[in-house]
Amino acid sequence: LITAAAWPGHPEFIRQFVAALGGTVRGVAGKKVLVLCGDYMEDYEVMVPFQALLSYGYGVDAVCPGKKAGDKCRTAIHDFEGDQTYSEKPGHNFALNADFAAASAAGYDGLVIPGGRAPEYLALDDKVLSLVRDFVAAGKPIASVCHGQQILAAADVLRGKRCTAYPAVGPACRSVGATWVNPDPIDLAVTDGALITAAAWPGHPEFIRQFVAALGGTVRGVAGKKVLVLCGDYMEDYEVMVPFQALLSYGYGVDAVCPGKKAGDKCRTAIHDFEGDQTYSEKPGHNFALNADFAAASAAGYDGLVIPGGRAPEYLALDDKVLSLVRDFVAAGKPIASVCHGQQILAAADVLRGKRCTAYPAVGPACRSVGATWVNPDPIDLAVTDG
């Protein structure tokens, strides 16, 4: 059993779950990655690679011109909701952990450039462009997604390189001499030497996998293993997508299911963040696409289970089929990784008795009431393994 208190604990939560599944990562020790941030970068396109790379064991610093460690960047939710182009909604507030002024290519082994709207103004910053050119000159891997390639084009480092990007960025790439790779399918990622590009956040699993390979990392013990993710409407946005895409990047098969829904259906997600109130705020998140049918899911078909938090668990905990599925994973001795409010489901299934666990603090009474040994989530990025 692996539990975490909230989405800040994803890196350790995912690392412990991979270990419980028998996976190992090699070639990452001592290596550091820089993430180039800006206001209104796409929410998934910064947090998924940031937390996924931390879970592999890399040191990861996130910086933004004009800001310092502890400052925050606003993010944007870009999604397709039936209009001719993507919609935009406010995302999480992303906390930086290093100073841009101190960042140099010499101090890192690779660079990640998220997309969203930030690149259109970061591409005007000479210090940003100089930093990118320094990574290229040093032959260090650069991974850029979606609109991030606007920065690469402005830095004039795409000449003669095969690359993809969000389709609207294609003309900018071609105009500076890139060999354009049409992003079909949209989850495409392309490697040319030390350059890894992807068209949009659906391509994160392959994008991250190729970047890790370029950094010399390898993953073992995942072949043929499958993970089930138990979804519901208004699950927390990060708490479903980060483990979903991170585990895919490791090489696991990952199926996402929801009671009453089928493959191709979507679940609404919620953004839970702390913005100065006494409890978390909630904003609409991305629409998460399921890729398997709940009716066909069984513990026998998977090696592990992931339960995201958010508001979904409070109603999923009332579903007897959900509780039976959880108990089947426990009876089979297969790893379960549950985060934040997900432990409401574990409590309802009565599988926490005698187990050390943590959760979002408000879920603590429910965990203790069914005989769990409560681990106070201090710090909030804590993750706990029992068994």
Contacts of 147 (CB under 8 A, 6+ apart): 42, 115, 116, 117, 118, 119, 120, 165, 166, 168, 169
Tell me if residue 204 is catalytic: no
Per-residue pLDDT at 149: 98
pLDDT at 76: 98
- Confirm if 212 and 249 have CB atoms less than 8 A apart: yes
Q: Of these residues, 73, 340, 357, 367, which one is catalytic? A: 340
What is the CB-side half-sphere exposure of residue 276 using CA atoms within 13 A? 1
Per-residue pLDDT of the chain (387 residues; tens, 9 = 90+): 999 999 999 999 999 999 999 999 999 999 999 999 999 999 999 999 999 999 999 999 999 999 999 999 999 999 999 999 999 999 999 999 999 999 999 999 999 999 999 999 999 999 999 999 999 999 999 999 999 999 999 999 999 999 999 999 999 999 999 999 999 999 999 999 999 999 999 999 999 999 999 999 999 999 999 999 999 999 999 999 999 999 999 999 999 999 999 999 999 999 999 999 999 999 999 999 999 999 999 999 999 999 999 999 999 999 999 999 999 999 999 999 999 999 999 999 999 999 999 999 999 999 999 999 999 999 999 999 999
- Closest by alpha carbon to 284, among 299, 269, 267? 269
Any catalytic annotation for residue 163? no
CA distances from 97 to 40, 77, 304 (A): 17, 22, 32
Cα separation of 358 and 9, whole Å?
11
Q: Which of 376, 242, 359 is CA-nearest to residue 5? A: 359
Residues 6+ away with beta carbon under 8 Å from 45? 114, 115, 116, 145, 146, 148, 201, 204
Per-residue burial over 150-159, b if 16 or more Cβ lie within 10 Å, else e, is bbbbbbebbe
Confirm whether 341 is a catalytic residue: yes
Instruction: Look up 340 and say whether it is catalytic.
Output: yes
Judge if pTM exceeds 0.85: yes
Q: Is 12 helix (H, G, I), strand (E, B) or coil?
A: helix
Among 112, 125, 142, 136, smallest CA distance to 46 is for: 112
**Cβ-contact 176, 156 below 8 angstroms:** yes
Residue with tokens 């009474």: 365
Contact yes or no for 286/240 (Cβ under 8 A) = no
The single residue listed with the structure tokens 């399918």 is: 185
Identify the active-site residue in 78, 163, 341, 357.
341
Query: Rounded to an integer, what distance in angstroms lies between the CA atom of residue 54 and that of residue 239?
Result: 15
How far is the C-alpha of 173 from the C-alpha of 153, rounded, in Å? 6
Q: Which of 64, 73, 146, 258 is catalytic?
A: 146
Q: Is residue 328 exposed (0-12), middle (13-18) or buried (19+ Cβ within 10 Å)?
A: middle
CB 2 within 8 A of CB 19: no
Question: Which of these is catalytic: 147, 204, 272, 286?
Answer: 147
pLDDT for 229 = 98
DSSP 222: -
Biggest CA-to-CA distance, the chain: 64
